Amino acid sequence: MNCEKYIKDGKVAVLYSPNFGAGWYSWNTDTPELLFDKDIVAAVLDNNLDKAEEVAIDKYPTCYLGGVRDLTVKWLEPGTQFEINEYDGFESITEISSKRYLEA
């Protein structure tokens, strides 16, 4: 993955789409850069979703950007392992360390 991450106060910004419809990452799993792209994050933090969409179209022209209007930033500690969960386009972030696994 070749992408400069947006880091503030020692935490990494992660983009996801927590509303029903089209997912941000779940519809573009082959492009993990969409989770971290510093220019898209900056536009979302500025509440400028038009700019976020323009940047995404310019940098990732083959990606599906249906979830761009619902983008939200979650702040994670560097090195945190996580997964994007999705149901009907509604994405959520689960930190791997917070999961409880069953064992046989």
What Rg, from alpha-carbon coordinates, does the chain have?
14
Q: What is the mean pLDDT of residues 36-51?
A: 97
Query: Which residues sit opposite 76 in a β-bridge?
Result: 12
pLDDT at 19: 84
Secondary structure letter of residue 92 according to DSSP: E
DSSP string, 30-89: T-GGGGTBHHHHHHHHTT-HHHHHHHHHHH-TTS--TTGGG-EEEEE-TT--EEEEEETT
- Residues 24 and 17 sit within 8 Å (Cβ to Cβ): yes
For the chain, give every domain's residue range: 7-98
Band of residue 21 on the pLDDT scale cut at 50, 70, 90: confident
Secondary structure letter of residue 103 according to DSSP: -
Is pLDDT at 17 greater than 70 in this prediction? yes
pLDDT digits (tens, 9 = 90+) for 45-74: 999 999 999 999 999 999 999 899 999 999
